[in-house]
Amino acid sequence: MSNTKNTAETQVSRKPPKGGSPTDDQTEDKDDTVTDDRPRPMDVLRQARAQLAELTGMTAESVSSFSQTEDGWSLEVEVLELERVPDTMSLMASYEVALDPEGQLTGYRRVRRYERGRADAHRPGGR
């Protein structure tokens, strides 16, 4: 009886192929198989907006910042907190959202609140 596994996965040799190393999209797991199970950034953004809207009951309108961290993902999401007439008087809020590497929300907090029609002069880049 042999000690090898019979799998349909592609095996990767320990040596990098001629012309360079494996791409950043590919990682080696313990079985030396090629895997790429990281979510795509656009999928992460959509999931984050949907999850935050479901938890808060408010409309997540846009993502104003987005970055990958050691622990997963970090986003700043603009949320409509209170709709007013005219629309420029509606109350908006920025929420800092933390996601795990798979894109599941692990925490959020409101970092500022403002009227939609007001510019934020004291923070560069609108943050």
Burial of 64 (0-12, 13-18, 19+ CB in 10 A): middle
In the predicted structure, residue 16 carries a pLDDT above the cut 70: no
Q: In DSSP terms, which residues pair with 62 in a beta bridge?
A: 78
* Mean pLDDT for the stretch of residues 1-7: 46
pLDDT digits (tens, 9 = 90+) for 69-115: 999 999 999 999 999 999 999 999 999 999 999 999 999 999 999 99
The model scores a pTM over 0.75: no
What tokens were used for 103? 């894109």
Q: What is the pLDDT of residue 124?
A: 54
H helix runs in the chain, sequence order = 41-56
Query: Counting every residue, how long is the chain?
Result: 127
